[in-house]
Copies of this chain bind each other. A is one copy, B any other.
Amino acid sequence: MDDNTVLIGTKPLMNYVLAVVTQFNTGVPEVVIKARGKAIVRAVDTAEVATRQFLPGVTKKSISTSTDAIETDDGLSNISSIEIVLQKL
């Protein structure tokens, strides 16, 4: 399942859009886009641009959010995360 996951970081948006398109071109039926914190915006942008401009047969299957505990210099801290599942129809 990890092969189908695109983890969003700080690179330019189109890098992630291309990663999603490439995943679908390998023939997988679903691609999962994951992000935490500030990268959540880029995850939403990735899903929107990929489905609207590059993958006409792909739709958003589900979107979920959660809270992860991460270790920082000041101890444990909570950070929001998002998971967007794209599905080829």
Chain B, Cβ-Cβ closest to A37:
B41
Please tell me which one of the listed residues B37, B44, B80 contacts residue A65 in the complex, with CB atoms under 8 A apart: B44
Chain B contacts for A60, CB-based, 8 A: 64-65
Q: How many residues of A contact B (CB 8 A)?
A: 19
Chain B contacts for A67, CB-based, 8 A: 48, 52
Known A-B contacts A64-B63, A67-B52; A80 and B40 likewise in contact (beta carbons under 8 Å): no
Chain B contacts for A41, CB-based, 8 A: 37-38, 40-41, 80
- Which A residues, 1 to 41, have Cβ-Cβ distances below 8 Å to chain B? 37-38, 40-41
A44 in contact with B48 (CB, 8 Å):
no
The contact sample of 7 A-B pairs, CB cut-off 8 A, is A37-B41, A38-B41, A40-B41, A41-B41, A45-B80, A47-B65, A60-B65
Closest 4 CB pairs of A and B: A63-B63, A44-B80, A48-B67, A40-B41
